[in-house]
Chain A
Amino acid sequence: MNVIPQISKPASAEPIEGSSRLFTALAVGVIVLVNLFTFRHSFGGYFLADDFVHVDYLYHAIDQNFMPLLANFWGNWMQAQGTTFYRPLISLSLALDYLIGGPNPLTFHISNWLYQTVASCLMFLVAGQIGEHFRPNEKTLNRSLALSAGVIFSVYPLHCEVVNWVIARVDSIALVFCLLSFWLYLKSTRSKNSLHYKLSLLAFVLGLMSKEMAVTLPPTLLLIQLLSTTTADTKSAKGRLLTSLNQTKTFWFILFAYLLFRLLVLGTVSGGYEGSVGQGLSNSLARRWLDGSLLRILFPFNIDVFGSKHSLSLQLKIVYVAMLVNFTATLVLAKSRSTAVRGLLFAVGWLVLSLLPTYQVWNLTPALQGSRFIYYGTAPIALIFAWLLFPTEERNWPVLSSLRLAAAGWFSIILLIITTGNNQPWNHAMKEVSLFRKAVTEQASALKATDKLSLLNVPHTYRGAHMLYNAATMSVLLSKPLTPEAIYSKVISFEPATFGDPDLINISRWRNKTGQDTSSYRWDRTTMTLEPIVFAGENYNVKLPGLDLSEQTKFISPELSLSAQAPDYVDVLLKKEQIKQWPEAVITLTALAPSSLQCQFSLPLNKARADGHLRFDVSEHKQWLALGQINQLTLSIQGLAPQQQLHILGLETGNLQGQRPKIESDEKTLVEDGDGICRPRGKMPSFNYDASIVPGAVSAYVEVSKPNSWFEHYSGTFRDTSKSPEALFSHTLGKLKGNGVPITFTGVKGPGFYQMRMAALDQDGNVIGYFSDPLNFQL
């Protein structure tokens, strides 16, 4: 324990290998601890959204001797419809967790945390190597650079989705392999060790098998070679490019082989989402990139947690300005500026490269949903910050390096605080899904064998955290292996089949399904309990007399006793000239149950129908149904000038009976399942329809959607009054009523989800009233 001789030992000029190893060990220890602290609450989490698809997949894959897992290596990921990916390693990693701990979420969360932690450690190592690559002589500076890059990466607030959401490990696994490959490559260029080079190639291949993002690695390697000082010996730009290409040629070769393989196996090079989801993505491309989402990378506050303006954002700004000042000042004062600039250029280039492949899917919402797309990009971001902090150290001014270290520490602490905040929705969401499962299981087990449970307000998201998106995920949640008994068979769900507006409900289906033997429940988000819906009240049409509304007042209706199931719409009767006067003014309708539970709808005046009725299609909204009984309505208006008054002629509720045709499965050859999707039970699946109930109908018009597309995705409602341009097939039927009409007549082929709907046409071929509620089927 005598320290004196150790310290008085003269330090040799070359850094001792041992001390470097010690530093690495210490730094890795620090990074592991930081990660452990940052994500300590995620271990107790649960599965969310798409995770269920994978749990189900694993559960069945293990039954089939893992063959589906192997098939991933030469086919579309998970043999899925609607997506084209090549990610065999991900399912393998999930299967490993499943084999260790079964369907216990803990194992999955531990390995998610491990991937993040390993990525952070590799970030530390890669940053160190990049530092060495550009400025081999500045040991201390490179150490500070590496450590701060590693720590910044560990606590970066955009990682919550990837760490907390089991399936988002796609990104962390891909990054682990890419960083590993990058690190080994840099090591091999310095030590000329061919083993490192070979291992690097292997890691790259593994990266490609994890996520498409890995294709950015060869360009990144090319970039660092182009910018490095060693290649600078070659004078001409062309010569440089050739040398650099030569150094990275094997990577390019692998990349092209991969793309070719992809083309052969998947039939496409790019891949991604198909159907109306993919179409929605490409329509909103520009908006998604330009709505300030790029700024959210620098100010990664979840708006639902921190609000739109938070005091930490000022602190972040100060740190950013300090970083820039530090960088520019150092550049101005330094004798040689080349290395500092090259390093920064590389980091920025790496960031741009890592953002490029996400162009199609990029969607970083204000609640930071979709932050997984930037996970790969946070590696260059951490490097940029570290580089701005530690550009060069020609002037040995101790206070400055202390200040830089302090700034790095401060920055990390701010980021850590933000990350803690951003983690909160995820932890809450996981807890809520787990409680939801427990509550539904309890209620369903208490039911009689023949009775059913219909569920409304299933939790979809919480402050940007995914929960249960659709019927499919819920079916896994409530079946084996996650729930011991197959509860799902007792549950009727009204969630979208794949994705979609969680509030929309097919009211025809609801009316058909809920009878005497069905108990209806809604999930209460605030108390996190399952509450019964009491459909008290009567079935009648409410009519309220006229009134005047201004911006400062609201109307409160007399006490009503209206069953929420009865009306289809609430009409606000307006004068046509007033609609023209204030087309942008918005009327808000609030409905209250006896318990004071409420729901709200808003519409601008210009959405009024030709007859001056502003129609709220209340019955296609779950929040309306969940009230059970409506005992008061209120109206208010925004968008009028002060002193102005809108005269409302009256308020009416009404039913659409007789305005919409009916379309149903025949329940023999085509049977509707609990998730609202009809599946064939024979060779000739067929359906029934009836358009004769619509007065004045001359012919029936039928529309079928494209595969995996949903009409309500385009229009946002089930109450379309006009034909959809997105239909795959449309046909006018002369008969107004038909039984056992085979689906095949529509010419639909190939697997996928389809939607069929019908409208009654008049003499001129115009739609009378509304389209029917759709019939969904899967082939």
Chain B
Amino acid sequence: MSTSENISDIKATESAPKRQLERARVDFSSTKTQMLLGALIMCVSCLVAYGQTVLVTFLGQDLTYIQAIADTLHGSFDLVLANPTSILLIDYLLYHTNTLGFHVSNILLTASCAIVVGLITLELTGRLGNRNGALSAIWAGMLFSVYPLHAQSVAIVSGRIELIASLFYLLSVFLFLRYRLIEEKQYFPLSLISGALALLLSAQSLSLPLVITLLALHPGRNRYAARKNALADAISCSGLYWLMAVLSFFIHPHYLGPVDKKTLLLLFFPVNETVISVSKIVPLALVPLLCALMVLLLKSQIAKIRLNQRTQTDLIGSVPTPPSSTITALILVVWLALTILPLTAHDSHLFLAAAPFSILIAILSLESGNTKDKDAKLLTSCGLVAMTLLYLAWSYLLAINLKPTVEGSLIVENFRRQLINAATIDGNITLTNWPKNHQGVPLIGAAENIKLFLAPPFIDRDLSPGLKVMNETMPISDSNKIYQWQQAHGLLASVAKADSQPFSSSNMPWSASSKDYFINLLKGSPWQLVDSTSPGASSSSIVSSSAPVISLMKNSVRLWAGDKQAILSLNDKIDQPVLQENRWILKIKIADHSASTVDLAVRNYLDETKMSKLAGKRIGADIFFDLRELDNYLSNGESQQIGIVVAAGEVVSISGVEFVSVKSAQ
């Protein structure tokens, strides 16, 4: 539209005598509208991000929780009060054991949390003067909705406790901020109630009173407060929260968790290490944060110049300067620190910590503080770029983190189906192993959980009495049919209890007399054999300097690794090690007074690439290797082979290798 047309339009409206109704329109400049739209976008963002989780089955502790609820409905009420999972009761009534419903509730709860995070940001930015509409609020909510460490809290049904506790926690904070805004009394009791619920549900809410106190001390506090002294005011309005927190100690006596140094790192590199190595995502995780940091630096510098200009030109009028965002940021940093402290985060996946983190990032990079229009626009656009980058990066990382849960769910479903079949056909069965976890996601935690699969409410009949689960470190001693879960094939296979074969290495102590054994052993391997007991045969003692050497001595055998690490495979194939308890502990005898040590290599007999190393325990001259420590050895159902690892450049003298029984090793 050209300028002339514009002017004529205005003239036309001015000259029109007839009064016209204002045309119905959406006022996008209104914060309320922006926020409403923002809430919708957050919901969509959550649905898109977590959509793939709706078909995830019950994992980890879910089964026990559901079982407890089912028991409750059948008249056994003793569990319900002690168990925080009774909040799943409504879901159970609605959906029974259909996981879809549980997951939809979880996603909706996450979306609500995101919206409340947005609202809190709105309240905080409102106190800083220029809040850029609901821009930072929406971005805070959006960032929260895709924070990558939410994966397990949202995708696993029992993550619900954390979701609800966080929701009440955040609501309590938001309502408190509303109450402080213009002293609207009705919000205060509401905030207290949510706070109480949050404290009741989860130990991580313990940080609530401190956060409330800090927010009460925020300089942007309302001017209608009853007490003029800031400290007295803050104490008076946060006192009740402290009281509640103290009372909550009676419900959660075990606040102190183990200190995990990795938590802080996890905050910035939120990725499941078993899926992708942290080093691979460093640029992805850091670049957006660095961008945000640059925006922040730029902002502070511009603000400084503006301040200088103003003081120099003496333009300071009577307009009170709103408090700088620094105080807000500091409060948020403290909040963040509280949520990741081991004191309160012993069982969380940083779900709550994501709230102050997202708010902090959004406020620091988007809220443009006291600067004037021209800079503000530039800064906001820079900030928006950073936020978009961060959102995309986090969405990607979230997708990575969700993958193991979804895959794990398929594994559990598959296992469950086959288990029910086996139990139906054979009646009495013994299970040697089961899918325990998949890339850091717990699948079926305790052995007792497996019995739940074979009982109502998950199936119609109760097949659980016929099931025995083998305690993996103790030998089997009954005549049930034995089943083994073979993770690589996704198969629950029945196995026959085999007679144990002799192990050739253990037949003799290693020395020159076992020359024939070594000649057989070394066929096709790079090892060179030297018989050092026969004097004068020096021509046979010239060996290649790069390949590993075995030198036979009178009472021992000396292994020389070349420039590279060398593995001496002991030629025996070990079938079904889980059923052969005399193949569980290996003893290697080292020659006297030697500090040198060796590792054990355990590899798949057919697939050389599947190899793991085991360090032994030294007792005198013997090194004991407890092969039960290796998950792959016992329970993946495939034949195994073991070997001795000699590190590059090392020389070891070994005088014997043998398997010993579990009893004698103890």
The listed residue (A557, A597, A636) touching B594 by CB distance below 8 A is A597
Chain A residues, CB < 8 A from B546: 552
A545 and B540 CA atoms in complex are apart in Å by 12
Contact present for B311 and A11 (CB under 8 Å):
yes
Interface string of A396-414 (1 = CB under 8 A from B): 1011011001100000000
Query: Quick check: B542 and A531 within 8 Å, CB to CB?
Result: no
| Chain A residue nearest in CB terms to B653 | A596
Q: Which residues of A contact B542 (CB under 8 A)?
A: 547-549, 553-555
- A3, A532, A534, A556: which contacts B541 (Cβ < 8 A)? A556
Contacts of A547 in B (CB 8 A): 538-539, 541-542
Interchain CA distance A548-B539 in the complex, whole Å: 8
The answer to whether the Cβ of A10 comes within 8 Å of any Cβ in the partner chain is yes
Q: Chain B residues near A396 (CB, 8 Å)? A: 305
B392 → chain A, closest Cβ, in Å? 24
Question: How close is A491's CB to chain B, nearest CB, in angstroms?
Answer: 21
Does residue A577 face the partner (Cβ distance < 8 Å to B)?
no
Q: In B325-376, which residues have CB < 8 Å from any A CB?
A: 327
CA gap between A598 and B653 in the complex, in Å: 12
Residues of B near A3 (CB, < 8 A) are 219, 323-324, 327
- Tell me whether B594 and A595 are in contact (CB under 8 A): yes
A678 at the interface (CB under 8 A from B): no
Provide the residues of chain A in CB contact with B327, threshold 8 Å: 3
A553–B546 alpha-carbon span in the complex (Å): 8
Task: Point out the residues of chain A lying under 8 angstroms from B549, CB to CB.
Answer: 556
Residues of B within 8 A of A593 (CB): 593
In the bound complex, what is the Cα–Cα distance between A394 and B67 (angstroms)? 74
CA distance A7 to B319 in the complex (A): 12
**Cβ of B89 under 8 Å from chain A:** no
- Kindly report which residue of chain B lies nearest to residue A545, judged by CB atoms: B538
- Asked if residues A596 and B594 are in contact (CB atoms below 8 Å), the reply is yes
Check A4 for interface membership: any CB of B closer than 8 A: yes
Contact status A532-B558, CB under 8 Å? no
Q: Are A1 and B653 in contact (CB under 8 A)?
A: no
Asked if B532 and A556 sit within 8 Å, CB to CB, the answer is: yes
Please report the C-alpha to C-alpha distance between residue A593 and residue B554 in the assembled complex, in whole angstroms: 14
Closest Cβ of chain A to B288, distance in Å, is 17
- What bracket does the count of chain B residues touching chain A fall in? 35 or more
Are B311 and A557 in touch, CB under 8 angstroms? no
Contact: B324 with A631, CB < 8 Å? no
A527 contacts the other chain (CB 8 A): yes
Return chain B residues, CB-CB under 8 Å to A628: 593
Q: Which of B294, B312, B545 contacts A554 (CB 8 A)?
A: B545
Across-interface contacts of A532 in B (CB, < 8 A): 593
B615 CB to closest chain A CB, in angstroms? 15
Query: In chain B between 514 and 569, which residues have their CB closer than 8 angstroms to a CB of chain A?
Result: 530, 532-539, 541-546, 549, 551, 553-554, 556, 558, 560
Of A13, A399, A549, A551, chain B has the most CB atoms within 10 Å of the CB of: A399
What's the nearest-Cβ distance from chain B to residue A409, in Å?
A: 11
Q: Which residues of B (290-329) have their CB < 8 Å from a CB of A?
A: 294, 297-298, 300-302, 304-305, 307, 311-312, 314, 316, 320-324, 327
- Whether B541 lies near A595 (C-beta < 8 A) is no
Q: For the complex, give the distance between the alpha carbons of A597 and B294 in Å.
A: 57
Which residues of chain B have C-beta atoms less than 8 A from A405's C-beta?
297
With contact pairs A554-B542, A596-B653, A632-B551 given, residues A4 and B323 touching in the complex (Cβ less than 8 Å): yes
Does A672 count as interface, using CB distance less than 8 angstroms?
Answer: no
Residue with the highest number of chain B CB atoms closer than 10 Å, among A396, A553, A554, A628: A554
> How big is chain A's contact interface, by range?
35 or more
One of A10, A398, A631 near B301 (C-beta < 8 A): A398
| In the complex, residue of chain B having the shortest beta-carbon distance to the beta carbon of A546 | B538
Asked if B652 is at the interface (CB within 8 A of a chain A CB), the reply is yes
Contact A592 B297, beta carbon cutoff 8 Å: no
Closest-CB distance, A144 to chain B (whole angstroms):
12
CB distance from B229 to the nearest CB of A (A): 9
The answer, yes or no, to whether A558 is at the interface (CB within 8 Å) is yes
Q: Are B302 and A398 in contact (CB under 8 A)?
A: yes
A8 touching B321, Cβ below 8 Å: yes
Do A558 and B534 have beta carbons less than 8 Å apart? Answer: yes
Interface residues of A in 621-669 (CB under 8 A from B): 628, 631-632, 636
A592 touches B558 (CB 8 A): yes
Residues of A within 8 A of B541 (CB): 547, 555-558
Alpha-carbon distance between A4 and B223 when the two chains are bound, in angstroms: 12
Which of chain A's residues have a CB closer than 8 A to the CB of B316?
Answer: 8, 10
Complex: A545 Cα to B294 Cα, angstroms: 74
How many Å from the CB of B145 to the closest CB on chain A? Answer: 31
Decide: B553 and A1 in contact? CB cutoff 8 A. Answer: no
Q: Is the CB of B297 within 8 A of A402?
A: yes
Closest to A401 in B: B301
**Distance between Cα atoms of A549 and B545 in the complex (Å):** 10
Beta-carbon contact of A594 and B591 below 8 Å = yes
Most buried by A among B316, B322, B541, B556: B541
Assess whether B595 is interfacial by the CB under 8 Å rule: yes
Is B389 on the interface with A (CB-CB < 8 A)? no
Inter-chain CA distance A548–B596, complex, in Å, is 31
Q: Which residues of B contact A597 (CB under 8 A)?
A: 593-596
Question: Which residue of B is nearest A406, CB measured?
Answer: B297
Question: Which of these, B231, B544, B591, contacts A553 with CB under 8 Å?
Answer: B544
Q: Which residues of A contact B545 (CB under 8 A)?
A: 551-554, 636
Check A524 for interface membership: any CB of B closer than 8 A.
Answer: yes
Q: Is the CB–CB distance between B297 and A7 below 8 Å?
A: no
Within A589-627, the residues touching B (CB, 8 Å) are 592-598
Q: Which residue of A lies closest to B316 (CB)?
A: A10
Q: Which one of A8, A399, A524, A596 has the highest number of Cβ atoms from chain B below 10 Å of its Cβ?
A: A596
* B230 at interface by CB-CB < 8 Å: yes
Q: Flag whether B651 is at the interface (Cβ < 8 A).
A: yes
Contact: B321 with A4, CB < 8 Å? yes
Question: Which residue in chain A gives the minimum CB-CB distance to B553?
Answer: A559
A594 x B539 contact (CB < 8 A): no
CA distance A547 to B558 in the complex (A): 22
What B residues does A592 contact at CB under 8 A? 558, 651
**In the assembly, what is the distance between CA of A11 and CA of B230, in Å?**
25
Q: Does residue B217 face the partner (Cβ distance < 8 Å to A)?
A: yes
Q: Are A595 and B297 in contact (CB under 8 A)?
A: no
Q: How far is the CA of A2 from the CA of B539 in the complex (A)?
A: 92
Does A265 make an interface contact (CB < 8 A)? no
User: A516 an interface residue at 8 Å Cβ cutoff?
Assistant: no
In Å, the complex CA distance between A763 and B396 comes to 92
Is the CB–CB distance between A595 and B539 below 8 Å? Answer: no
Q: Report the bound CA distance from A558 to B594 in whole Å.
A: 20
Q: What are 5 A-B contacts with C-beta separation under 8 Å?
A: A1-B217, A527-B595, A531-B593, A556-B551, A632-B558
Extra A-B contacts (10), CB below 8 Å, given A553-B544, A556-B532, A559-B554: A2-B219, A3-B324, A551-B545, A552-B544, A552-B545, A555-B542, A556-B543, A558-B532, A596-B652, A628-B593
Nearest 10 A/B pairs, CB to CB? A398-B301, A595-B594, A1-B230, A402-B297, A3-B219, A554-B545, A596-B653, A596-B651, A595-B593, A559-B532
